[in-house]
Amino acid sequence: MKVVFGSPGTWSGLLLRTGQWVFAGASIGVMLSAFGFSNYTAFCYLIASMGLQALWSLGLACLDIYALRVKRDLHNPLLVSLFVVGDWVTAALSLAAACSSAGVTVLFARDTDFCKAYPQFSCGRYQISTTMAFITWLLVATSSLVMFWILTSA
């Protein structure tokens, strides 16, 4: 199996996984600190989805660290197939969460004057959290494509 940028068990792979759980964790942190988020299903779903993403990426980052320490090769078809399925599922869930939050955030900030009318609402934090969710999705999408590439070019 080819070793490309973002392969499991490499420094670039570890970097990509670290980026994913850091941004997912930051997205959760910012949303949790925003006033009134729990009244909106989309924001609660964002936290659940980013939580799942952070756990998945953190797990794979730990596996990368282990592989780097004991110099173990993680490029076997069964393991990469598992990574592909997990990455595609979490990527779809992350995109869904980011988009539903973006829909609600745009509604508050642009379509209605909700943010201006109620300045106690943390519209800025909703936007930052949603942006971080999109960055997380971009990083996971990169991982998904790399994993698929490795699997199919085996």
Residue 52 burial (CB < 10 Å; 0-12/13-18/19+)? middle
Q: How far is the CB of 89 from a copy of itself (least distance, A)?
A: 12
Which residue bears the tokens 């659940």? 48
- For CA atoms 79, 85, 89, 95, the dihedral sign is positive
With 0-12 CB in 10 A as exposed, 13-18 as middle and 19+ as buried, what is 101? buried
By CB under 8 A, how many residues form the interface with a copy of itself? 19
Minimum Å gap between C-beta 106 and a copy of itself is: 5
Please report where in the chains the tokens 């910012």 appear, as a residue: 30
**Pick 14 or 20: Cβ nearer a copy of itself:** 20
CB of 37 to a copy of itself, least distance (A): 11
Identify residues 111-140 at the interface with a copy of itself (CB under 8 A).
111
- Choose between 37 and 56: whose C-beta lies nearer to a copy of itself: 37
Q: Is 39 exposed, middle or buried (0-12, 13-18, 19+ CB in 10 A)?
A: exposed
Distances (CA, A) of 55 to 37, 51, 90, 125, 135: 22, 6, 10, 23, 16
Which residues 58-97 are close enough to bind a copy of itself by CB under 8 A?
A: 92, 95-97
Q: Residues 35-64: x/- map of binding to a copy of itself (CB under 8 A)?
A: ----xxxx----------------------
Of 40 and 51, the one with the shorter C-beta distance to a copy of itself is 40
Interacting residues toward a copy of itself by CB under 8 A:
39-42, 92, 95-97, 99-104, 106-107, 110-111, 152
